[in-house]
Amino acid sequence: MPDTEATTVLKARFPSATDRASADHPALAIPAADIPAALKCLRDEFAFDMLSDLTAVDWSSAASPRFTIVYHLLSTTRHDYIRVTADCPSDAEPSVPSVTSLWPGANWHEREVFDMFGIGFAGHPDLRRILMWDGYPHHPLRKEFPLAGIDAPLPDAAVAAETNVNLKPAPMAGGPFVASAGEINLGAAEPEAKDESWNEGKPKPE
């Protein structure tokens, strides 16, 4: 994507900022330590007033840096988007500064990334799990987490008794995927799971 006024200013103000390949919106990679100041600049000086999404990427345990945080900002007045990414400085204990002081809505986004990826957010006012229970020993969106899940003790004895701890792991619905190469019709090229046992007897869409 070509430079915009916002990306030009950010690269001048934060010399370590670099362009990031993007097919849709302007995108920059910025060091984690500069994220609060850079996003504040985008909010206050370029009207990117809405944090529409905050998520993470686990590139794999063999990659370094392993984890990247991704911020999608929207200007509700100019109808522009910009994407900003920040690599976590540490692979063993990944963490980046929180942006809850800029957008209170970042609270739940950051908690979800903490829960699913195990990435910390320094300065978050209440960083705890939001989907899994406290004490759950895994992070389900890390690459090493299997599609079928991992058996783990339930946190409450009464819940464990009701759900029967001897239940089998969830089927691998949704993966691994297979698709025919070279299909032009996107509907016909839709990937299907190798394990379709969960879907037996249901009519397929035409």
- Annotate 158-189 with DSSP letters as a single string: HHHHHH-TTPPPPP-TT-SEE--TT--STTTT
Helix residue ranges per DSSP H, the chain: 5-13, 35-46, 106-117, 157-163
Whether the pLDDT of residue 203 is over 80: the answer is no
pLDDT of residue 155: 74
Nearest to 120 by CA among 87, 88, 94: 94
Nearest to 83 by CA among 18, 131, 142, 143: 18
Q: How many residues does the chain have?
A: 206
How far apart CA 184 and CA 24 sit, in angstroms, is 23
Q: 107-157: per-residue pLDDT in tens?
A: 999 999 999 999 999 999 999 999 998 889 999 999 999 887 888 887 777
Distance of CA 153 to the CA centre of its chain: 26
pLDDT of residue 162: 58
At 113, list the tokens: 């990334």
Q: 161-182: per-residue pLDDT in tens?
A: 655 555 555 555 555 555 555 5
Beta bridge partners of 62: none
Q: How far is CA 69 from CA 83, 97, 168, in A?
A: 11, 11, 34
Question: What's this model's pTM, rounded to 2 decimal places?
Answer: 0.77
Q: 11-32: per-residue pLDDT in tens?
A: 999 999 999 999 899 999 999 9
Nearest to 88 by CA among 61, 56, 62: 56
Q: Which domains does the chain have, with CATH numbers?
A: 5-169 (3.30.460.80), 171-206 (no CATH)
